[in-house]
Structure 1
Amino acid sequence: MSKKRTELLVSAGSVQDVEKFLLAGADAVAIGNERYGLRLPGSFDLANIREAATLAHARNKSVYVVINALLHQEELSDLKGYIMDLANLDVDAVVFGDPAVLFTVREHAPQMKLHWNTETTSTNFHTVNFWAAKGAVRAVLARELSLQNVLAIKQHSRIEIQAQIHGMTCIFHSKRELVSNFMKHKGQALEAKENLSDSSMYLKEDKREEQQYPVFEDYHGTHIMSHEDICMLEHMGPLIAAGIDAVKIETILKPVQYNEAVIAIYRKAMDQYLENPSAPFDAGLLAAIRSMQPQQRPLGTGFYFKEQIY
């Protein structure tokens, strides 16, 4: 078993969330500004990022700023200044997908650490190692991989590996304002949502009406999310034993109280495994998550065991 502690990473939507999630047991938080980051629980300006970094570093925790949007030419004019500001704020890494971010960091903030995250194309160790050669120090793996694939990539990777262990995933994204256009077609106005956790829009299938797919629209267009939440709580042992460097809880579209509780449960499960890897899994922890899980959102294991089909 790897002696390195697996990092518990969570997404955060506000400075208050950052403080609560770190106290609940998170080792790191992922934050960002809506202009540059996809599917963020909330938008941080530079002052918020500074405050979050101060909170985290005072606790020996980390802050990663997400710049994983599909960047168009008009966004690039301000990217240099934004990255230089982040470097001055001493954030621990930038999460990127677009090579424009890589080149900008190389030129203007070469000391900045880079976490590569393209959502869907990080599916083999050759691709991971390609980006390692370009300067990335961590790869965020695609959510469509099996557990066996994840462990194999880790074995052959030259850089850190991150995998999602809890929460919903995106199954569709369009730059178009599909929801707004649909509402206009119906002669209705779309009510602005300041907090994504307040979203109550869903898509349903004709033949499986019990399955609800959350849909929301933001600066980057329209997003449709999975109908179930990944929950790998009882399978953390193999991930930790294989030396997976970071595991992420996705908090988007969930209340803060739910996220705090889930973080604390995963923290306890991970600590218990590290203390005694041969001890049986504490089924009470999984029961605790199930007891507070929204009725319309079943728990599953995503593609880790090839169970999930969209």
Structure 2
Amino acid sequence: MKKPELLAPAGNLEKLKTAINFGADAVYLGGSKLNLRAFADNFTDEELREGVEYAHSRGKKVFITINVFPHNEDLIGLEEYLKDLYNLNVDAIIVSDPGIIMTAREVVPDLEIHLSTQANNVNWKSAIFWHKQGVKRIVLARELSLEEIKGIKRNIPESCELEAFIHGSMCMAYSGRCVISNYMTGRDSNRGQCAQPCRYKYYLVEEKRPGEYFPVVEDEKGAYILNSKDLCMIEHIPELIQSGIDSLKIEGRMKSAYYVASIVKSYRQAIDAYFDNPEEYVFQKKWLDNLEKASHRAYFTGFYFGDSNKQTYETSSYIRDYDIVGVVREYDKSTGLATIEQRNKVLEGDTVEILRPVGDNFEIKLDDMRNGKGEKIESAPSAQMIFTIKTDIELEKDDMLIKSKINR
């Protein structure tokens, strides 16, 4: 049985390094053009070069999204951009448009192509069609059940890989092909500018009573009739692996480094535990606990088991019970001093959890907080300020300090 790739989002260089450090086998990200996250911290060529070198030096891969539906003007400079990516030694491009695929085959024939989920591939014949066009991997539509995925796997050549989303936000539109944002805000969701109007609060107006707004559900909060739950398959790792999926993909290029770290870590632990001993594999609640601490909406299993209840009507807000408050930059064993870069306000005496790539989370107390000048401080309120604490527990570079907001 082949261990599937764990593929993580990388919205910027810090998140790329975080994903790899916490166990991702590969990352996907947007370059400077033609990707569906126009408002992410997309990579410059220099950042991309550094990211590729960082990943490759650790035996990991980097995939670049070129997954917009391009209009004529978007094609200007495409050939040069593809050549630049090839020269940067990226491992594959993720594409939805046949024109971009054709261009890539012409100008960079050795560059691996993955078919984006935006192309909504839902059957094995389509998979074979795309494979014959030079596509090595199909990123499956999210509207498929596990049984359908197994059927696709049985009917395609071994040389054709399958990738599927296993965690993260879900779009209400079919395979993300939505135009509500275009109509309501003039921002084209299929060219990377979605304003997420599915998260807005909506009321019903009756034709003959203009100006009277009625909630679709009788609730003073309004109704979020288009708002989807988040996908979470952490409790179904054996089924995912046995379906034959080659790459398990996490959504979230717009999410935080803390989100990337916690989600990647849980799935890494679960996948490795299954392959360590498939016959004795047991789901561990701590994996789900880590996922629930990261920012998310209510979880569900998507379409994998034929579920249809994907909406969450109560709120469009994320559940954010934990914050990242700092990242360890250095630890001196001789003095017990940890140097920390602040991420959110934290106080002297706070108890925080330590999140690191390997091992369970553990708690420490923030004692003897001092600023960069060595002066005693009661809090670290300034963004990215450097401060120190004293602890006998040995910390490691890039350990994340997370703090419950409930007990703050």
* Aligned ranges 1:280-295 → 2 under 5 Å: 280-289=281-290, 291-294=292-295
Residue 8 of structure 2 aligns to a residue whose secondary structure is strand
Deviation by residue 1:70-126 (Cα, 9 ceiling, x = unmatched): 111111121000000001001000111111111111111111000011425200010
1:19 counterpart (8, 17, 20): 17
Secondary structure at 1:257's aligned position in 2? helix
Question: Paired residue for 1:203?
Answer: 200
Q: What CA distance in whole angstroms lies between the structure 2 residues aligned with 1:125 and 1:227? A: 27
Residues 239-248 or 41-50, more deviating: 41-50
Q: Quick one: distance in 2 between partners of 1:262 and 1:200?
A: 26
Partner of residue 326, structure 2: none
Cα deviations by residue, 1:220-242 (Å, 9 ceiling, x for unpaired): xxxx8x52111111111122133
Q: Is the Cα contact below 8 Å between 2:234 and 2:288 reproduced in 1?
A: no
1:127 is paired with a residue of what secondary structure?
helix
Task: Give the 3 Å change call, closer, same or farther, for CA 177–269 of structure 1 in structure 2.
Answer: same
**What's the CA shift for 1:139?**
0.2
Counterpart position of 1:192:
none
- Is 2:300 the counterpart of 1:300? yes
Check whether the contact 1:269–1:285 (CA below 8 A) recurs between aligned residues: no
In 2, the alpha carbon distance for the partners of 1:267 and 1:211 equals 36
Distance in 1 between the 2:265 and 2:34 partners? 29
1:121 & 1:254 partners in 2: Cα distance?
24
Matches within 5 A, 1:1-310: 2=1, 4-33=2-31, 35-39=33-37, 41-119=40-118, 121-158=120-157, 159-172=160-173, 173-174=178-179, 177-178=182-183, 180=185, 202-204=199-201, 206-207=216-217, 212=224, 227-289=228-290, 291-294=292-295, 297-309=297-309
Per-residue deviation, 1:258: 2.2
Contact 1:129 1:157 in 2 (8 A): yes
Looking at structure 2, the residues matched to 294 and 212 of structure 1 have their Cα atoms a distance apart, in angstroms, of: 19
Residues 243 and 201 (structure 1), Cα distance of their counterparts in 2 relative to 1, 3 Å cut: closer
Percent of counterpart pairs with the same letter? Answer: 33
8 Å Cα contact 1:53-1:62 kept in structure 2: yes
Q: Partners of 1:85 and 1:290 in 2: how far apart? A: 37
Seen in structure 2, the aligned counterparts of structure 1 residues 181 and 249 have a Cα distance that, compared at 3 Å, is: closer
Q: CA deviation at 1:294?
A: 4.5
Shift of 1:19: 0.3
User: Residues of 2 paired with 1:229 and 1:298: CA distance?
Assistant: 6
**1:25-74 C-alpha deviation (Å, 9 max, x unpaired):** 10001011363111364312222221111111011100001111011111
- What is the alpha-carbon distance in structure 2 between the residues aligned to residue 290 and residue 247 of structure 1? 16
Quote the Cα distance in structure 2 between the aligned partners of 1:298 and 1:245: 27
Letter in 1 for 2:179: S
Instruction: Determine if contact 2:146/2:243 at 8 Å carries over to the other structure.
Output: no
TM-score by length of 2: 0.64
Give the match's secondary structure for 1:171. coil
| CA distance 1:64–1:142, shift in 2 (3 Å) | same
CA shift at 1:286, angstroms?
A: 4.2
Structure 2 CA distance, aligned partners of 1:210 and 1:280? 44
Structure 1 121/294 Cα, relative in aligned 2: closer, same or farther at 3 Å? closer
Indicate conservation of the 8 Å contact 1:151/1:239, yes or no: no
The alignment partner of 2:76 has SS state of helix
With structure 1 as the length reference, what TM-score do the two structures score? 0.82
State the 1:307 CA deviation: 1.5
Q: Residue 96 of structure 2 contacts residue 119 of structure 2 at CA under 8 Å; is this kept in 1?
A: no
**Structure with higher helix content:** 1
Quote how far apart the aligned CAs of 1:308 are. Answer: 3.1
SS in structure 2 at match of 1:137 = strand
Give the letter aligned to residue 58 of structure 2: R
Question: CA contact under 8 A between 1:119 and 1:143: conserved in structure 2?
Answer: no
Structure-2 separation of matches of 1:8 and 1:14: 18
> Is contact 1:168-1:252 (8 Å) kept?
no
Separation of aligned partners in 2, 1:130 and 1:149:
17
Give the distance between the partners of 1:130 and 1:304, measured in 2 at CA.
Answer: 24
User: How many angstroms apart in 2 are the aligned matches of 1:287 and 1:81?
Assistant: 44
Letter in 1 for 2:15: D
Rg comparison, structure with higher value: 2
Deviation at 1:255? 2.6
| Aligned residue pairs, count | 281
SS in structure 2 opposite 1:271?
A: helix
Flag structure 1 segments of 5+ consecutive residues without an equivalent: 183-195, 214-223
